[in-house]
């Protein structure tokens, strides 16, 4: 009786030490511009990359989203150039600027079929948990570990505890994977799943598209989980068939048989079980500086004076930074700008969901829309979504991490408030002094057309 995670773990154990650490095989290692520390370490030791064929380079964190020939900041150009040279030196498959398959690593990897069910996937980026949406064991690692994986194609790990998070019932209209994720994080806390491998289960998870599952797993790290995953099923197989690097024909069918067998056995044991009733999940926004600071859009900003004593100082600090008043309705919070994109919500369905709200309407505030990959950009343009964004008054730009992390210069100015489809509302995440409210892409669109945090549901009436 094994769980999905037990099977993934056991499949990758090379050896175990007496102290409980296991040496695991890495099937797929993604590197990006931020991996420069690890390549430097490898160079210091004169080591080659052990498995170049299993190592994939992607330019995403620093790439400019406006590539109209304007001057690129020298520091940013150097970061991309360093990655390009390291990928060339070590003979890695590389998706750089100008490659139409380029995109955010956690978007383009699954899109290309470079991530497949049953794989162990690592990357020097915490949102590597995303890949669990395909039934892979994906987790973020630091630079020392990146260097270790480059040098050995393995990683030492202690087995995390198993947590099954079941979503019972069905999603109400206007509620999606982002809301499910922010809801559980607000209930269990930003460290609520610390030390755990999360398996998302239940009717509402099964009903999610692969895009939704990738979003749900992406945010696992925001609840402190080591990784998050959804068992592969027919939805997964349909999504993967025909992807560039997925097997074809009989080879696909043989692989699919293996993948479907990864699902948790009936009676599999979990170290911990948590349940969410979908009746409790509404469209959600964050009000504070941690993803756990999330509430239904119909709620009010929490009052530190009414909060448990231990939480009061933190809430007061967060409200001070965010410039919010205790007790004010969330829908009364005016925003200065919006952002749609990121590894959390930069996929085609996300763009469609935002466009469904924006169609025929004008945004009251400026905003940026950055697709998760260049192929998604092309797809969106083929569907006419770019026109919807442009006609609404938003900017339609190239693919990259962009304003989620601001490394490429797409920043929110100090004191400005942004409704954002991203993953972190940390202080300064989108720029020094920036105020971020996390929400689904449809909710970002609702904020854009109203100029304040807003419930998307009335705006969807007659449209879906």
Partner 1 sequence: MSGWAHHDGLAVGLARENIDTDQLIPARFMSAPRNAGYGRFLLHDLRGEPGFALDDPAAKGASVLVARRNFGGGSSREAAVYALVDAGFRAVIAPSFGDIFAGNAVNNGLLPARVTTGAAEALLACLPAALAIDLAAQTIALGDLTLSFDIDPIWKTKLLNGWDDIDLTASYRAEIAGYAKARRGAAPWVWPNETRGDPAPTTGSDQ
Tell me how far, at minimum, the Cβ of 417 lies from partner 1, in Å: 17
Of 48, 91, 203, 244, the one binding partner 1 (CB under 8 A) is 244
Q: Which of residues 296-335 bind partner 1 (CB under 8 A)?
A: 310, 313-314, 317
Cα–Cα separations (whole angstroms), residue 130 to 137, 271, 312, 322, 401:
9, 22, 33, 28, 14
Q: Which of residues 53-72 bind partner 1 (CB under 8 A)?
A: 53-54, 62
Tell me how far, at minimum, the Cβ of 267 lies from partner 1, in Å: 25
If the CB atoms of residues 28 and 435 are measured against partner 1, the closer one turns out to be: 28
Stretch that binds partner 1, among 48-56, 261-269, 357-365, 452-460 (CB under 8 A): 48-56
If the CB atoms of residues 38 and 363 are measured against partner 1, the closer one turns out to be: 38
HEC assignment per residue over the chain: CCCHHHHHHHHHEEEECCCCCEEEECCEEEECHHHHHHHHHHHHHCCCCCCHHHEEEECCCCCCCCCCCCCCCHHHHHHHHHHHHHHHHCCCEEECCCCCCCECHHHHHHHHCCCCCCCEEEECCHHHHHHHHHCCEEEECCHHHHHHHHHHCEEEECCCEEEEEEEECCCCCCCCHHHHHHHHHHHHCCCCCCCEEEEEECHHHHCCCHHHHHHHHHHHHHHCCCEEECCCCHHHHHHHCCCCCCCCHHHHHHHHHHHHCCCCCCCCCCCEEEEEEHHHCCCEEECCCCCCCEEECCCECCCHHHCCCCCHHHHHHHHHHHCCCCCCEHHHCECCEEEECHHHHCCHHHHHHHHHHHCCCCCCCCEEECCCEHHHHHHHHHCCHHHHHHHCCCEECCCCCHHHCCCCCCCCCCCCEEEECCCCCCCCCCCCCCEEEECCHHHHHHHHHHCECCCCHHHHCCCC
Q: Which of residues 4-43 bind partner 1 (CB under 8 A)?
A: 14-15, 19-21, 23, 25, 27-28, 34, 36-37, 40
Tell me how far, at minimum, the Cβ of 125 lies from partner 1, in Å: 6
Of 10, 75, 265, 273, the one binding partner 1 (CB under 8 A) is 75
Of 30, 64, 104, 111, the one binding partner 1 (CB under 8 A) is 111
Of 251, 269, 279, 334, the one binding partner 1 (CB under 8 A) is 251
Of 183, 226, 417, 457, the one binding partner 1 (CB under 8 A) is 226
118 interacts with partner 1 by CB under 8 A: yes
Tell me how far, at minimum, the Cβ of 160 lies from partner 1, in Å: 8
179 interacts with partner 1 by CB under 8 A: no
User: Binding-site residue total for partner 1 (CB under 8 A)?
Assistant: 105
Q: Which of 282, 443, 278, 419 is closest to 350 using CA atoms?
A: 443
Tell me how far, at minimum, the Cβ of 377 lies from partner 1, in Å: 9
Print the binding letters for residues 135-174 with partner 1: x by CB under 8 A, - otherwise: ----xxxxxxx-xx--xxxx-x-x----------------
If the CB atoms of residues 365 and 410 are measured against partner 1, the closer one turns out to be: 410
106 interacts with partner 1 by CB under 8 A: no
Q: Which of residues 199-218 bind partner 1 (CB under 8 A)?
A: 207-212
Tell me how far, at minimum, the Cβ of 79 lies from partner 1, in Å: 5
If the CB atoms of residues 311 and 332 are measured against partner 1, the closer one turns out to be: 311
If the CB atoms of residues 296 and 431 are measured against partner 1, the closer one turns out to be: 431
Q: Which of residues 392-421 bind partner 1 (CB under 8 A)?
A: 405-407
Q: Which of residues 332-371 bind partner 1 (CB under 8 A)?
A: 347-349, 352
Of 48, 327, 415, 432, the one binding partner 1 (CB under 8 A) is 432
Q: Which residues pair with 256 in a beta bridge?
A: none
């Amino acid at each position: 009786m094994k769980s999905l995670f037990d099977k993934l773990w056991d499949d990758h154990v090379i050896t175990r030490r007496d102290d409980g650490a296991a040496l695991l095989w890495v099937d797929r290692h993604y590197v990006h511009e931020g991996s420069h520390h690890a390549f430097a370490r490898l160079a210091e030791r004169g080591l080659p990359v052990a498995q170049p064929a299993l190592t994939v380079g992607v330019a995403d964190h620093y790439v400019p989203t406006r590539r109209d020939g304007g001057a690129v900041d020298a520091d940013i150009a150097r970061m991309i150039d360093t990655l390009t040279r390291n990928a060339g030196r070590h003979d890695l498959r590389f998706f750089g600027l100008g490659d139409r398959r380029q995109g955010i690593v956690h978007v383009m990897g699954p899109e290309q079929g470079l991530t497949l069910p049953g794989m162990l996937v690592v990357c020097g980026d915490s949102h590597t948990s995303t890949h669990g949406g395909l039934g892979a064991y994906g987790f973020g690692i630091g630079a020392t570990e990146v260097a270790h994986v480059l040098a050995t194609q393995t990683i030492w790990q202690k087995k995390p505890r198993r947590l099954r998070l079941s979503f019972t019932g069905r999603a109400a209209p206007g509620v999606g994977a982002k809301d499910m994720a922010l809801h559980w994080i607000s209930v269990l806390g930003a460290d609520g799943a610390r030390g755990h491998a999360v398996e998302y289960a239940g009717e509402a998870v099964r009903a999610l598209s692969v895009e939704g599952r990738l979003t749900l797993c992406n945010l696992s790290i925001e609840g402190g989980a080591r990784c998050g995953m959804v068992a592969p099923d027919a939805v997964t197989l349909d999504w993967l068939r025909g992807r560039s690097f997925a097997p074809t024909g009989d080879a696909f069918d043989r692989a699919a048989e293996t993948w479907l067998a990864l699902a948790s056995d009936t009676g599999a044991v979990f170290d911990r079980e948590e349940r969410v009733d979908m009746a409790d999940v509404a469209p959600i926004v964050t009000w504070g500086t941690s993803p756990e600071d999330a509430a239904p859009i119909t709620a009010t900003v929490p009052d530190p004076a009414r909060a448990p004593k231990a939480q009061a100082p933190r809430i007061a600090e967060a409200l001070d930074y965010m410039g919010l008043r205790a007790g004010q309705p969330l829908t009364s919070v005016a925003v200065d700008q919006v952002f749609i994109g990121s590894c959390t919500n930069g996929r085609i369905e996300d763009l469609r969901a935002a466009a469904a709200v924006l169609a025929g309407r004008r945004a009251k505030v400026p905003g940026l829309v950055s697709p998760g990959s260049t192929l998604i950009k092309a797809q969106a343009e083929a569907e006419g979504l770019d026109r919807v964004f442009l006609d609404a008054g938003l900017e339609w730009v190239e693919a990259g991490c962009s304003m989620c992390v601001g490394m490429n210069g797409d920043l929110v100015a100090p004191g400005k408030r942004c409704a954002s489809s991203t993953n972190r509302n940390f202080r300064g995440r989108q720029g020094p002094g920036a105020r971020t409210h996390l929400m689904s892409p449809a909710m970002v669109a609702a904020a854009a057309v109203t100029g304040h945090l807003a419930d998307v549901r009335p705006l969807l009436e007659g449209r879906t």
